[in-house]
Amino acid sequence: MVRKLSFLLIVVLLMTAVMPSLLSAQTPDDTTLVIAQSVDVAGLEPASVNSRAEANIFFHVFATLFEIADDGSLSPYLATAYSISEDGKEWTFTLNEGLTCHDGEALTAEDVAYSFDRAFDPANAFTGNTAGFVFPSIGFQGTRVEDDLNVTIITDRRQSENNRLALISEVYIHCKDSYAAMTLEEAAQNPIGSGPYRLVEWVPDDYILLEAVEGYTLRETAFKTHYWRVIPEASTRVAELIAGNVDVIANVPPDQQAAIDTSGVATVQAVAGTRRIYVGFQFGENFADAPGYEALQKTEVRVALQYAVDVPTICATLLGTQCERASSMVNPPNNNPDLAPYPYDPAKAEELLDAAGYPRNADGVRFETVLMGPRGRYLNDANVVQAIGQYLSDVGVKTTVDIREWADYRQLVGPKEVGPMFFLGTGGGTWSALYDMTDLSSPTAGTNYTNWQNEDWFALWNTLGDVTSPEEEREKINALLDIFYNDPPWLLLYFQPDFYGVSNRLDWTARRDEWIVIYNAKLK
C-alpha cells in the first residue's frame, strides 16, 4: 500500500514539474528556435537592460556599433570603421550606408547620437547597463554628429582601445523619430530595433517571440522565429529539453546533467564561464542600522571572512566542477599573479575576528548579520547562498539567509538596496582586466553595488587614462588589484562555470561570457 502510494506521489510530483511545460509545449519546426532562460526581462526599454539574460534577447533586436566575441575580437556591425582623436577622448564611428530601423526609418549618425544621448539624459533616469556601467566606464560626455554617416562619441579620458570599443559595443542603437514620438512607458513596451530580429510578442513570465527581419544584410539568420521562453524551474527546463520542446537551456544544475546526456536528444555543453560570483559587503549608509553593518565596515573583519568560506568544496559539490577560488574581480589570466586566492582556514578567520574586536560571546556568536541572495538567476544560487551562510555562522558570524526570487531581488540590486551582505554575479571577460574592473569605475558607478569608497583605488583608477605603455597599465592594474585584495569590498568566490543543454539538432557553441548569441545557430 505504502509503496503504491509512494509511486503515485512521485508520478504526481513529476507531473507537477512537467505539466506547465506540457500545457505550452510546442515542438519547434525547422524554422523555429526555442531558447529557455530562468528569468524574464524587466521591460523592453533598451536603456534599462541590466542583466545578461535580458541582453541576450536585446542583442538580437538591437544592433550595436561593433560586436565583440568572447575572446575579445571585435567585428564591424552598424559601424564599418572608427578613428580616435589625438588626445584619445573622441571616437568617431563611420556607419554602413542604407541602414534602417525595424519601422523602416533610415538609421543615420543622428540616430546613433540620439541612442547615446537618450540613455545619458538624467531626466530619463535610466539605471541600466548603458547608463550605469558603460558611461561611467568610458567617461561619456556627449555626442557630435559629423554628417549622415559619421558620429563622434566624446569622453573625458583616454582609455585602452579594445576596452573602450567593447564597452561602446554594449550600447543598443535605435532610431530617433520612433523613440522621440513615444513616452518612456510606451517605449518600454514597443521596442523598435535595428538588429536582425524584430519583436512580435512579449507575454510576461512566459515568452518573447522574435521574427527575423526580411532583407537584413548585416547578419545572417538561419531561423525565421525565436522563442525566448521563461522557465524558472531548472528541472522543468531540463524536462522541456529532453521532451524536444526547447533547443537551448541555460543554467543546467550539475545533478541533472546526466539526465540530459543520456536522453539521446540533447547534450550538455560545459564552459568555464567568466561571470564573477561574489558576496558584496554593503557600505551604503542606508544600511547603517542593519545587523553586522558596523562590523563589516572594518577591513580586518572583511579579510577574516575571506578565510571562512570553503569555495573549492562549494564548487565541487554544488556546482559540479573543480574551480580555483578567485583572487580578484579579474578573470584569469589577467589577474594579478602575485595574489594567491584566500585559502579556507576557519581557524585563521576566528583568530582575525578575535583580533578585530569581535570575540565569541557566551552563545558563541561574534555578531549577527544578514546575507541576501537570489533564487533562479545563477547556477544553484540559493543553495550556494545557504552554504555560505553556514560557513559564516560556523566562525561565529551568525548569518540569517534571506533568499528572494530574482524578479524581486533585481529590483533591489539596481538601486543598491541589498545588504548588509548580498550574493551577486556580474559578467566579465577574458580579454581585458580593465573590462572586469570597470564595475568600480567610480564611487557612484551603477555597478559599484557595494558603494565601496576606497580613496586609493579611485585615485589610482583615475590615472589610468594617462598611461603611455601596456607595461605601465599592467603595473597600475596590479596595484589596483592589490588594493582590492587587501581592503575587499567583495567576499571573493568563483568564476561561474556554465552548463547549457543543447538539442542534438542544433549546431551552436556556447560562449564563455554567457552571451547567448544565437542568430548564427544552424540545424545540423
- Interface residues toward another protein, by CB under 8 A: 2, 5-6, 9-10, 13-14, 16-17, 233-235, 238-239, 253, 255-256, 258-259, 310, 313-314, 317-318, 375, 383, 386-387, 390, 400-403, 405
Q: Of the candidates 345, 269, 259, which has an alpha carbon nearest to the alpha carbon of residue 309?
A: 345
- To another protein, the closest distance from the beta carbon of 372 in angstroms equals 11
Give the Å distances, CA to CA, from 100 to 188, 209, 248: 20, 21, 30
- To another protein, the closest distance from the beta carbon of 204 in angstroms equals 17
> Closest CB to another protein among 73 and 313?
313
- To another protein, the closest distance from the beta carbon of 285 in angstroms equals 25
Q: Of the candidates 356, 342, 327, 489, which has an alpha carbon nearest to the alpha carbon of residue 420?
A: 489
Q: Rounded to whole angstroms, how far apart are CA atoms 23 and 192?
A: 31
> Closest CB to another protein among 10 and 182?
10
> Closest CB to another protein among 140 and 406?
406
- To another protein, the closest distance from the beta carbon of 110 in angstroms equals 46
Give the Å distances, CA to CA, from 204 to 207, 337, 372: 7, 45, 25
Cis peptide preceding 420, ω within 30 of 0: yes
Are the beta carbons of 256 and 237 closer than 8 angstroms?
Answer: no
Task: Show the cell assigned to 388.
Answer: 555560505
> Closest CB to another protein among 387 and 506?
387
- To another protein, the closest distance from the beta carbon of 321 in angstroms equals 14
Beta bridge partners of 495: 276
> Closest CB to another protein among 14 and 459?
14
Q: Rounded to whole angstroms, how far apart are CA atoms 486 and 302?
A: 9
Q: Rounded to whole angstroms, how far apart are CA atoms 248 and 518?
A: 10
> Closest CB to another protein among 191 and 320?
320
> Closest CB to another protein among 96 and 267?
267
The secondary structure element, H or E, covering residue 485 is helix 470-486
DSSP 145-157: E-SSSEEEEEESS
- To another protein, the closest distance from the beta carbon of 345 in angstroms equals 17
- To another protein, the closest distance from the beta carbon of 263 in angstroms equals 10
> Closest CB to another protein among 189 and 390?
390
DSSP 72-128: S-EEESSEEEEEE-TTS-EEEEEEPTT-B-TTS-B--HHHHHHHHHHHH-GGG---S
> Closest CB to another protein among 384 and 518?
384
- To another protein, the closest distance from the beta carbon of 5 in angstroms equals 6
- To another protein, the closest distance from the beta carbon of 256 in angstroms equals 5
> Closest CB to another protein among 15 and 340?
15
**In 24-76, which ranges are continuous DSSP H helix?**
52-61
How would you class 459 by CB atoms within 10 Å of its CB: exposed for 0-12, middle for 13-18, buried for 19 or more?
exposed
Give the Å distances, CA to CA, from 322 to 260, 308, 336: 21, 19, 21
- To another protein, the closest distance from the beta carbon of 239 in angstroms equals 7
Residue 404: strand, helix, or coil? strand
Around Cβ 125, how many Cβ atoms within 10 Å?
A: 10
